[in-house]
A and B are shown apart, each in its own frame.
Chain A
C-alpha cells in the first residue's frame, strides 16, 4: 500500500517532481509508519486522505503549475539518459556477474533456450500451416460443399454428384462461383521423361472460384474441351526448366495428346500440394447419371453471406434435383433426406491436422512454462544467496528500482543467450521435425525459419525473462536488512511458499503432458494390435501402367498380368504374388449395389457393397483368411470367368441365412450373374480406425472382353525381402514393359506406418515434450528441496544432536517434498480431466478420461517426486551436528 501511495507522486509534472518528489516521499513514508502504529483504521484513513491529497494536488499542479522553474535540460530527457546509462551499465555488470558463475548461466540459458526453441519451432509450423490465410483471393469466402442424408443408408457426409454442381451453379443466389474437381495419378510423358504424377481435372470454373490467374499463357475455356492443360509452377520449374516456350507444346497426358496452355503461380496448389497439372474440362449435362456421389465441390460465397445461409439455400436447391434429372428410387429417397454440408475451405483443408498441431504447440508451451518456473527458481535461489550483498547495497543508499534493474539485467542477459540457443535449436530441430511430420499436411513444405519466427523467439525470450526474473527481482529489492545484523544467516521460514507454488505448478503441468502422451501411447498400441484382416509384414506392392498396341482390352491386359506375375514369382525369395485393383491403405475401392437371385424382383432390396478386382494369389499373399470355398485359381485364368469371391460381411448381407458359396449375385446395371466360389475375411481398406469393408472381388477378366479392363493394378509380392526387393522388380519391369512407369511402390508395413503417422507423430512429439517436462519438474523439485535442506542444516543438526532418529529426519524432508508433489498431482489431475478431451479423434480405443492412464501416470509422477526428494533427504540425514552447529 505504501508503494502504491508513493507511486502517486509520479502524477506530478516532472519539473515539480525533480524539486520536491524526494521530500514528498519522505513525508508519506514517515506518516505512513506513524499511522500504521496507530492501528488499522488510522492507517486506512491516512491512506485514503493522502491518496486524495496527492492526486488532487498533482491534478491542480498540472492544470495550473506553480512550479515553472526550468532547468537547463529537460528532466524527462535527463531521466531517460540516466535510465539508458543505468541499463547499459547494469547489463554490463550482469554479463560480468554471470560469467563468474558459468554453471548457473549454462543451466538457466540452456533450459530456457531449449524450451523457447521447441516452442518457436512449433509456432512456426502452426503459423505457416494453420494461421496464414489460404493463398487465394478473399479465401474467407471459399467454402467446401458436401452432402449428408441423415436417416438413410448414407448417414455420414459424402461427396456430391455432377447434377448438384449444375444445379448450384445455375440457380444459387448466394454463391458467386462453383467448381468441382478430382485428384488422381496418371501418366505424363514428355520428349525425354515419363512418370506417373498427381493431376486433377477440375471444371474450368476452378480458377475463377479460387480467384487465380496464370503467370504465363491463359486459362482453359469451354471450346478447349479436355484437350488442354494448365501446369503448376513446380512442374514448370522441374520438368521444363522454367522455359516459357512450354506454352503451346503438346504432350501425352493421362492417355491422350493435350496442349499446355498456361502456367500457374507457385502459390496455386490445389487440391493437394503435390498436384502438378490441371486438365481442362466441363460437365456435359447430357452425360449426367444422377446419384454418382463422390465429388468434392468448392464454391465462392458472395460477400456478406455465411456458410449456414448457403447450406440452407443449397439444401432447398438439391430437393429439386430428382424432378430435373430423374434417378432411381433409392436416389429419390436419399435426396428427400439430403442436407447440404457447407464449411469454410480452410477448415476442410486444415481441419484434420489442426488438432495435432495445436496439441503439440500447447505441449511446447507447457514445457516453456515449466522451464520458466525452473529458471525462476534458479534465480530466486541465486538472489537468496546474495541477500547480504543486496542488503548492503540498499543500506548504503541504492534505490529499490536500481536493485530491481540489476536483477532484471541478469535475467535479460540469460534470456538473450537463451534466444540465441533457441534459434540454434529451431534451426537444427525444425528439419528433423518436418521429416517426421505426415507428408499430407498442407503447406508443411513452406515451413522455414523466417522473420515471424525470429520475432516470436525474441518475444518469447523477453516474456520468459519477465516471468523468470520479476519475482526474484522484486524480492531482491526488499532485502532483509536483519541479515546484516545476524551475520547473514537470517530466517527463511515462510519464504518457500513461492517456490513451492512453482513446484506445484510444474508437477501439475508435467502430469498433464504425461497423461496426454500416455493416452496417445495406449491409442497407438491399440491401433497396432488391430487385426485389419490382412498381414502387413513381408508384403511388397507397386503399380505399373503398361501401354502398347497389344494392350487394348480386358483379356489382353489380363494375359500381360499373368505373364508378369509368373516372372515376379520367379524372383529369388518371392513366396507368392497376386494383384488387386485397389490395395488396402492406399486406395479406396469402388462402391456398387448388388442383388441376389432372391432379390431380383425388388430393386430396393439391393445391397451397397464395395467391390474390386483380384487375381493370382492375392488372398494368400496378403494373408487374408479364406473362410469358405476357395479363392481364385492363381494361374488358371479361364477358370475364374463368371466367378466372384465375397468377404464375410458381404456374404452375410447378401445371404443372411448363410451358405454363400455356389450362390449367384449381380451388380446393379450389369446383365450378367456371377457365382460365388469363396468367402474371405473382411479387410480394413481405409485404415485401422475404420470398420472392415464388406467387399466383392471380381476376377481379372469379365464376361466379355470389354466388360472391364484392369490396366494398372497393384501387384502384391510376399517375400521376406520386402524392404529390399524394389531394385530387382524395377529391373524386371524395364524388361517386360520398358515404357511403363513404376509407381506407388510400398511395403504394406510402410503403408501401415503411414496410415498411423498422424497419431505416431503426435505421440512421439508429445512423448518428447512430456519427458522434458518430467525431467524439468523433477529437477525443480530436487532444487527446491536441496535448498530447503541446506537452509535447515542447523535445525537438522540440532535435532540429530538432541537424539532425533536419522530415519526420522529423512522422513521429514521426504514428507515435505511429498506434500508439494501431492498438491501438484491433484492439480494436474484436475487440469488433465479438463484438457485431455482436446486430443479428440487422435485417441483410439481409449477414453479421454482413461482411469488406468490417469492412475498410472499419477503414480509415476509421485514416484519421481519421491526420488527427487530422497536425494536431498539423504544429504540432510548425513548432517554432522558438530559441523552444522560450528558453522554458525
Chain B
C-alpha cells in the first residue's frame, strides 16, 4: 500500500474520498457528490472518475462493499457500492490538515480574516 505521504493527493482524489466519508455510495452518486461538494468546479467524466476510483482501491483507500439493506431497490443492473477503508480516514484527515494549513497561509498573505467571508 503506497502512502500518499508528502506527495499529496489530487483534488479529484480528495473529493472522492470526501464524498465517501459520508458513507458507502455507488458510482454515479460519487460523481454527483463530488460535483456538488466542489461547487461545480469538478465534474469528472466517466473515464477519469473510475480510473481515480480504481487507483484509490488499488492503494487500499477505497473498497467495494455490499449495499446496505435499507437501500431502496434499483431496477436494472445491480450497482456496485464503494466505501472508505480505515486507512483512508487517516489519509483524508492528513490531506484536510494540509489543505487547511495552506488555506490559512493564503488568507494570511492575502490579508483576509479567517472564519469570515
Contacts and interface: CB of A to CB of B under 8 A. Distances in A.
Q: Which of B31, B50, B51 has the most CB of A within 10 A?
A: B50
B27 A57 contact: no
A66 B47 contact: no
B26 A23 contact: yes
B47 A397 contact: no
B45 A54 contact: yes
Per DSSP, chain A at the interface is helix
Nearest to A22: B77
Contacts of A22: 77, 79-80
A53 B54 contact: no
Interface residues of B, number: 21
A20 to B, nearest CB: 4
Interface in A52-74: 53-58, 60-61, 66-69
Given A27-B28, A53-B46, A67 B54 contact: yes
Nearest to A55: B47
Given A26-B28, A30-B28, A53 B58 contact: no
A20 B76 contact: no
A20 B50 contact: yes
B58 A66 contact: yes
Contact of A66 (B55, B75, B80): B55
B49 interface: yes
A316 interface: no
A480 B31 CA distance: 31
Contacts of A16: 50, 54
A19 B80 contact: yes
A801 interface: no
Interface in B50-68: 50-51, 53-55, 57-58
A58 B50 contact: no
Interface string A20-32: 1011111110110
A57 B77 contact: no
B48 interface: yes
Nearest to A27: B46
Contacts of B53: 20
A44 B45 CA distance: 15
Contacts of A19: 54, 80
Contacts of B50: 16, 20, 23-24, 57
Contact of A60 (B26, B45, B51): B51
Contacts of B31: 27
A158 B52 CA distance: 83
A288 interface: no
A13 to B, nearest CB: 10
Nearest to A17: B50
B27 A20 contact: yes
Nearest to B53: A20
Interface in A1-37: 9, 16, 19-20, 22-28, 30-31
A69 B58 CA distance: 8
A66 B46 contact: no
Contacts of B57: 67, 69
A19 B76 CA distance: 17
B48 A66 contact: no
A54 B46 contact: yes
B54 A397 contact: no
A224 to B, nearest CB: 84
A25 B53 CA distance: 15
Contact of A67 (B28, B58, B76, B79): B58
A22 B76 CA distance: 11
Contacts of B51: 57, 60-61, 66
Nearest to A23: B27
A16 B55 CA distance: 11
> Ordered nearest first, which 9 A-B pairs have the shortest CB separation?
A57-B47, A23-B27, A53-B45, A67-B54, A66-B55, A24-B46, A20-B50, A66-B54, A54-B47
Interface of B: 26-28, 31, 45-51, 53-55, 57-58, 75-77, 79-80
7 contacts: A19-B80, A26-B28, A26-B79, A27-B27, A27-B49, A54-B45, A397-B75
Given A61-B51, A68-B58, 9 more contacts: A19-B80, A20-B27, A22-B80, A24-B50, A28-B46, A53-B45, A53-B47, A56-B47, A57-B47
